[in-house]
Amino acid sequence: MTAKNLLASVAHSSDDTEFYTPMPSGYRPGKTRYVGVFGTVMSGLGKGIFASSLAKVLKDKGLTVAPIKLEGYLNLDSGTLNPFRHGEVFVLDDGMECDMDLGTYERMLDQNMSRKNFSTSGQIFTAVLEKERRGGYLGRDVQMIPHVTGEVKRKLRELAVQSDADVVFIEIGGTVGDVENAYFIEALRQLAFEEGPQSACWVALTYVLEPPSLGEQKSKAAQLGIKQLTQAGIQPHIIACRAKHEVTQKAREKIAMYSSVPYKRVFSMHDCESVYVIPEMIRQEGLDQQVVGILGLEDRLHPEQEVKAKNEWDGYLTRLRAARDDVVIGVAGKYTSVRDSYASVIKALEHAGTQVGVGVNIEWLEATEISEDKVAETMRGVHGLIVPGGFGSRGIEGKIAAISHARKRGVPFLGLCLGFQLAVIEFARNVGGLEKAGSTEFDEDCENAVIDILPEQKEIEGLGGNMRLGGQDVVLSRDTLAARLFNNAAETRLRFRHRYEVDPRYIDSLEAAGLIFSGRAPDYPIMQILELPTDKHPYFVATQAHSELTSRPLRPDPLFLGLVQAAQTFKRASNQQGAAAIG
């Protein structure tokens, strides 16, 4: 049976066949190509960065691309994962809580992802077991092969149909040697067999060691990792080599020889000033043309579109490299030892700084070490402050102390999610006369719970659905700083991940004390953006949303953009005051 006949005729398993290839309605064999990115040696090397960069370069050529991240863990989503272990939880517009690599895809491709772009083993196994209970396997004994691998292939093909993609990019989390990834790899091997020649391009992302004591690059670990992949039935077409410095010709030649991959397809993905340089590196090496040839996509390209897209990206890189007049932004959080916990915040600051022409340096402020008597010293030299999202009571008082210092000293401030709630608490305590203001998240018996779970959310708390997730509309009040930041729009859309809100009973008294709630939910008494009048503070803004999630290189988030601009002004004023004092 040929691959073409297999796809055309087999959509179930029975006693007559061992093939199992569920075909979603509307799928056209041969239309969509597949690029798979596998990790070797160790995880965390940048599979998502490489996959998104290559996808961007192909998208620039006029191709429709759709990425998907396959994670081996049994969680149904990333919502319960500790940031110390897995980095930030990235929330999609449809409310899916997923891996931080989805943020990389959204930023690099400038397109929103959905739950179709993310899958875990938990989702795969749940789908298989639910189908088994419904009798969907015609009485067969359900096995890893062909049924679980068949579910993986179904997800990939469903994404192809939904997105009408020319190319689906598949990133497998972790490394080839991980036990939980074996069936993902097998599913992709089957997929390439079923789809036929020029249907798939496999990329092995590896690591080239540079032991300081030896003074040279060593490729043996990379060779052994790639060997594991070939033993699983995947012969890579491209090798992407991570390294601190550019991979030498000698190391690339060794890898090419022992992996049977042409030298021109062994790509050096060494450290550079920004991940946004990677697409440029791919173009310079001609790797994009190699992929187009491997997949036979020459007749689908649009050269004029590529020229325009390339010019826009080159303009961004020019501004990025030309950024001067550095500012220091303090980030007061409790996961500061793991930078991936705030990946989107870091990128949003980079986007804003590039737009303004300012280099943004981040000063990580461990919230648990901030106290009222030391906050001035801790924040010395900081030109702006961000208090990002988080859960739990650890470090709360330190964050409140930092916010209070920023408010009183005129330091530009941006609060995100929890940072919004703490700004309300700080204002209520120190301006609104509610000395015991707090949140029921930290103290269930709080006397003045200005932050609480709304009544309608409490009703569904037992069902586990009280988290407010995903994209929500925000109505902006006229003649406010928030409205100006969003180009005087009547409303905007931001992404949320929280369950606690400003208690509506305190809104009038807080506003009477001078706090402005400039962004609200359209249909509920939910406060979504706050600010202080600009005659009282140059930039004191907070949002219940995670506005960092929707920032893009060519379209910086307005709240971050405003913060960086205000920080630049604050720095100049501070320098002038210092010069005047010396004079």
Q: In the prediction, which pLDDT does 463 show?
A: 41
Cα separation of 43 and 535, whole Å?
A: 50
Strands 118-120 and 65-71: parallel
Single out the residue of 107, 104, 145 nearest to residue 340, CA to CA. 104
Name the residue with tokens 């925000």: 474
Marked catalytic residue, from 195, 363, 501, 548: 548
Give the domain ranges of the chain.
20-315, 327-576
Task: State the CB neighbour count (10 A cutoff) for residue 541.
Answer: 28
Task: Return the amino acid letter for 507.
Answer: I
Q: In the prediction, which pLDDT does 269 show?
A: 94
Note the pLDDT tens digit of each residue in 161-180. 999 999 999 999 989 989 99
Marked catalytic residue, from 151, 186, 417, 498: 417
3 state SS of 437? strand
What is the DSSP code string of 48-71? HHHHHHHHHHHHHTT--EEEEEEE
Cα separation of 319 and 360, whole Å?
A: 13
- Tell the CATH topology of 327-576: Rossmann fold (3.40.50)
Name the residue with tokens 């408010």: 407
Q: What's the Cα-to-Cα distance from 407 to each of 164, 415, 423, 509, rounded to whole Å?
A: 50, 12, 9, 19
Q: In the prediction, which pLDDT does 4 show?
A: 54
What is the DSSP code string of 505-556? GGHHHHHHTT-EEEEE-SSSS-EEEEE--TTT-S-EEEESS-GGGG-BTTB-
Task: Count CA atoms within 13 Å of residue 173 on its CB side.
Answer: 19
3 state SS of 190? helix
Crossing angle of helices 558-582 and 343-356, in 10° steps, is: 70
Active-site residue 302, yes or no? no
Q: Is the domain defined by 20-315 classed in CATH 3.40.640.10?
A: no
Q: In the prediction, which pLDDT does 13 show?
A: 47
Say which residues have a Cβ less than 8 Å from residue 150's Cβ, sequence separation at least 6: 13, 20, 21, 22, 187
**241 bridge partner residues:** 206, 268
**CB 371, CB 398: distance < 8 Å:** yes
Task: Collect the ranges in the chain with pLDDT lower than 50.
Answer: 1-3, 9-13, 461-464, 583
Extract the tokens encoding 302: 């649009």
Query: pTM score, two decimals?
Result: 0.92
Active-site residue 201, yes or no? no
Cα separation of 404 and 430, whole Å?
A: 8
Q: In the prediction, which pLDDT does 283 show?
A: 96
Active-site residue 272, yes or no? no
Q: Where are the beta strands (DSSP E) in 154-196?
A: 167-172
What is the DSSP code string of 308-336? HHHHHHHHHHHHHHH-EEEEEEEEEES-T
